[in-house]
Structure 1
Amino acid sequence: MFAYKTLKSGTDIRGVASEGGGAPINLTDEVVERIAAGFLVWCEKHLDKCAEGLKIAVGHDSRISADRIAAALFRAFTTYGASVYDCGLASTPSMFMAVLELPCDCSVQITASHHPFFRNGLKFFTPAGGLDSPDISEILEYAQNGAAPKETDNGTLVPVDYMSKYADNLREMIRKGVNAEDYAHPLAGFKIVVDAGNGAGGFYANDVLKPLGADITGSQFLEPDGRFPNHIPNPENEEAMASVCAATVKAGADLGVIFDTDVDRGGAVDSRGEEINRNRLVAIASAIALEGNPGGTIVTDSITSDGLKTYIEQTLGGKHHRFKRGYKNVINEAVRLNNEGVNCPLAIETSGHAALRENYFLDDGAYLVTKIIIKAAQLRREGKSLDSLIADLKEAKEEKELRFPITAEDFRPYGESTIAALESYAKAHNWNIAPDNREGIRISFPENDGDGWFLLRMSVHDPILPLNIESNSVGGVRVLAEKLLKFFDEVKPENVDYAALKGFLEK
């Protein structure tokens, strides 16, 4: 019997939905319909509403399997009496906003984010936000057991164009934020390149920026194409970032922006073709979020730089709270802090997931980019550029990420024991262990001894120990890597393959 729990990926459901990836399709119509029934059972329990009459919005990104999966959801939901709003091509964040604005009881987005074209998945939203990991486990358990509400013939399916309303909200946000003399065209004179990577983000160029007067000449890959023929739609992907950087320079644009497939992440490029990504993106988002929130706390993932911490705390006067990798981990931590009375306006991961308190702590790439564009327009009135906002951000000279597979079937205990062994080793050698790290172990070294840090942690989902190294000096990454290799060679942790570290140093 098929194990539904294998489809769980953190707070999402993901599987193989199309041929072409060399793996059998496991996100079949039957599987999708059983998951849909399981979701309705979850809704009856947690929303305290009967499946019959439940209002559900459904959207999808541009993947080639989207129509098939949507049809399976429609069949299942209407079989049990739900009223379904077919939102068609949509961004993931818009499907949360649809719950609030249509309004409806819940929503489903069909997406697998930046994963290959042959994969797809499901994300679920209620007015409280995206479902969390335990919720996904519960839904999959219902699906495994064939749990379903009572069947009825009262279900309905209605097409709804919510993306037009979502784009209108973003346009009005820019008009108010810029407050230009020509209120209707606050981006007149701006040239902005948009790279949608053939995902769901093409609307941002044509439906948000262009009507506000922006010149979008040079924008690329706006048309949805579920095979992603030009590059992976992912702001973390080197090829994707190189492509949007080149397009921005070629067009002579003031700014470039890039989205992942379902637009819950975004990145930017300045007029010189320099990436506003990772630590730079976190810095700019922090500067924007701390306006009106003096002394506020910014929650980030664990691999942010020392220079970013200095920038947030000394330049901006805020507090930097490093937490675990995983966008939902970062968001949940920010929500927890706010509930405890801590002023925390932003949760952001270096991957480009950014969630602002003012926007329901929703990770929305279009919302983040919109905030950046508003700030760019405000700064231009003062004769400044976005660069001026992060002039005091000290950036690393070198950085490297390596990944060490854990070969044991029960991998987590081996990974955790390796991290514990490194902590003991560090203490024995008087290494400086970061006191504010909340994931794995982060160790810093002085200017004459590597001038940087490394972080060894467990992957969020996979049997892997990722290693991040960063140095403020040329050659420093190698010095730090050599220190770590001595640890591995002496301790020889069982079932951890650190050949990548040896290979890096041999080069």
Structure 2
Amino acid sequence: LPGEHHVIFAEVDGNFPNHHPDPTEESNLADLKRLVTKNNLDFGLAFDGDGDRIGAVDALGRVIWGDQILSILVEPALREHPGAAIVADVKSSQALFDRITTLGGEAVMAPTGHSLMKTAMTRTGAPLGGELSGHLFFAGDYYGFDDAAYAAVRLIRAVHLSGQSLTALHDAMPALVATPDLRFPVDDAEKFAVVDAVVARLARDGAVVDLTDGARVTTPEGWWLLRASNTQAMLTVRAEARTDDALASLLAAVDAHLAACGVTRA
């Protein structure tokens, strides 16, 4: 690719002497942020250990999360596939689903998990899908799986086609505050029962709940999600709102529902 490129930590070492290769942990992106801002680069890219997840930072060193990367990829995808379905996992920002709809696409919410995402894409014929975790899936003119190197090229292309910088695209996104994926231990034998109990309480309260994967609850303040991990003895919580106070209110609601089930977020 033309341009000025810098590579860090290119030597393969399974001991991970620099940091764990997880681009969803902001602390793992500290060296990339420093490199980008020090050298006045347009943006930086990060990959996980097996090359199927991507992370990014803009010229100011701000993290572009997986659902935000997907939001940037949506416009060229829908230009090439008008009216197509775009799949995003249940943890993704509401701003992403709204953007897909605004651009004339069909916003499809899917359970978290790469096999579940690929199933949803096949079912809907979606050319593009992605998760908050940085798994991005390309069908249509690609093979339908998550490939971080290919995702990087597609992101570079999308930024070029926009005629703007990645930083400008980031600035144009709705100003929202959100938690990371908050995980806390709950026994495997109990985690699904806890979610079911919370869902029952929400139904009694007349809450607006999406049951795609756990319970995603929409309120005037924003939304929150409670789901059981597919792979660990964990429950996960995520929430998004327009203000810090609203976010705190959403988390307080989650904690109240968990407390009624005898569970506390550690």
Q: Is the 8 A contact 1:445 1:452 kept in 2?
A: yes
In the alignment, which residue of structure 2 is the partner of 1:214? Answer: 3
**Normalising by structure 1, what TM-score?**
0.49
Contact residue 311 and residue 393 of structure 1 kept, 8 A: no
CA distance in 2, matches of 1:269, 1:369: 12
Cα 1:310/1:291, change in 2 over 3 Å: same
2:143 pairs with 1:360:
yes
Which SS does the other structure have where 1:457 is aligned?
strand
Structure 1 residue runs without a partner (length 5+): 1-211, 339-343, 501-507
Check the 8 A contact 1:279/1:304 in 2, yes or no: yes
- The 1-side partners of 2:96 and 2:50 are apart by 28
Aligned-residue offset at 1:283: 0.5
Per the normalisation by structure 2, the TM-score is: 0.91
Amino acid at match of 1:397: V
Please provide the CA RMSD for this pair: 2.0
- Quick check: 2:70–2:129 contact (8 Å CA) kept in 1? no
Inter-partner Cα distance in structure 2 for 1:317 and 1:268: 26
Select 1:254's aligned residue among 30, 42, 49: 42
Secondary structure, aligned partner of 2:181: strand
Distance 2:254 2:147 in 1: 37
Per-residue CA deviation, residues 438-480 of structure 1 (Å, 9 max, x unaligned), is 110111111xxxx111111110111211111222112222212
Deviations 1:275-322 (A, max 9, x none): 2222211211222322211111111111011121111111x2212111
Q: C-alpha separation between the residues in 2 aligned to 1:302 and 1:222?
A: 33
Supply the distance in 2 between the matched residues of 1:419 and 1:427 (Cα, whole angstroms). Answer: 12
What residue is the counterpart of 2:216 in the other structure?
A: 442
Aligned twin of 2:124? 337
Count of residues in Structure 1 that have an aligned counterpart in Structure 2: 265
* Aligned equivalent of 2:107: 320
Partner of 1:370: 153
Contact 1:331 1:348 in 2 (8 A): no
2:23–2:54 CA contact under 8 A, matched in 1:
yes
What is the CA–CA distance in structure 1 between the aligned matches of 2:201 and 2:29, rounded to whole Å?
A: 38
Asked if 1:456 corresponds to 2:226, the answer is: yes
CA contact (8 A) 1:281 1:350 kept: no
Q: Which amino acid aligns with 1:214?
A: G
1:244 aligns with 2:32: yes
Distance in 2 between residues matched to 1:349 and 1:443, nearest whole Å: 18
Q: Percent identity?
A: 29
How far, CA to CA, are the matches of 2:180 and 2:253 in structure 1? Answer: 15
Whole-angstrom distance in 1 between the partners of 2:22 and 2:79: 29
Distance 1:489 1:352, change over 3 A: closer
Q: Which runs of 5+ in 2 are unaligned?
A: none
Match of 2:228, SS? coil
Kindly indicate whether the alpha-carbon contact (under 8 Å) linking 1:308 and 1:394 is maintained by their aligned counterparts in 2: no
The letter for the 1-side match of 2:244 is V
Q: Secondary structure at the match of 2:111?
A: coil
- Alignment partner, residue 130 of structure 2: 348
Higher relative contact order (CA 8 A, sep 6+): 2
Amino acid at match of 1:445: T
Q: Which among 171, 179, 193 is matched to residue 399 of structure 1?
A: 179
1:235 is matched with which residue? Answer: 23
Q: Which of 417, 428, 433 does residue 209 from structure 2 map onto? A: 433
Offset of residue 248 of structure 1? 0.7
1:488 equivalent in alignment to 2:258: yes
What letter matches 1:368 in structure 2? A
Question: 8 Å contact 2:183–2:237 — kept in the other structure?
Answer: yes
Kindly state the Cα deviation for residue 348 of structure 1 after the two structures are TM-superposed: 1.0
